Homo-oligomer: A and B are copies of this chain.
Amino acid sequence: MRIRKQIWDEFWRLVGAADRIALVTHKAPDGDAIGSLLGLGLALKRIGKRVITACHDPVPDKFRFLPGASEVLQSPDGIAPDLLIALDSSEPARTGRFAGLINSPEIDVLSLDHHPTNTGFGLLNLVDPDASSTSELVMDALEAGGLALDESIATCLLTGIVTDTQAFRTPNVTPSLLLKAGRLMNAGAPLYKIIAGTVASISYIVLRLWSEALRGVRLEDGVIWAVEPLEMRKAIGYEEPGDGHLVHLLLSVAEAKVAAVFRMERAGEVEVSLRARPGYNVASVAREFGGGGHILAAGATVPGSLDEVVARVLPLLKAEARREI
Residues of A at the B interface (CB closer than 8 Å) are 167-171, 173-179, 181-183, 185-186, 191-192, 195-196, 200-204, 207-208, 210-211, 214-215, 217, 219, 224, 249-250, 252-256, 277-278
- Of B173, B192, B211, the residue contacting A214 (CB under 8 A) is B211
B204 contacts A215, C-beta separation under 8 Å:
no
Bound complex: CA A22 to CA B173 (Å) = 36
B182 contacts A278, C-beta separation under 8 Å:
no
- Of B170, B185, B186, B210, the residue contacting A192 (CB under 8 A) is B170
Bound complex: CA A217 to CA B253 (Å) = 21
- Of B170, B185, B204, the residue contacting A224 (CB under 8 A) is B204
Shortest beta-carbon distance, A56 to chain B, in Å? Answer: 26
B195 contacts A169, C-beta separation under 8 Å:
yes
A185 contacts B175, C-beta separation under 8 Å:
yes
* A250: chain B residues within 8 A (beta carbon): 207
A202 contacts B168, C-beta separation under 8 Å:
no
CB-CB nearest 10 A-B residue pairs: A178-B182, A211-B214, A175-B185, A179-B182, A175-B186, A171-B192, A175-B182, A201-B254, A204-B255, A178-B181
Closest to A171 in B: B192
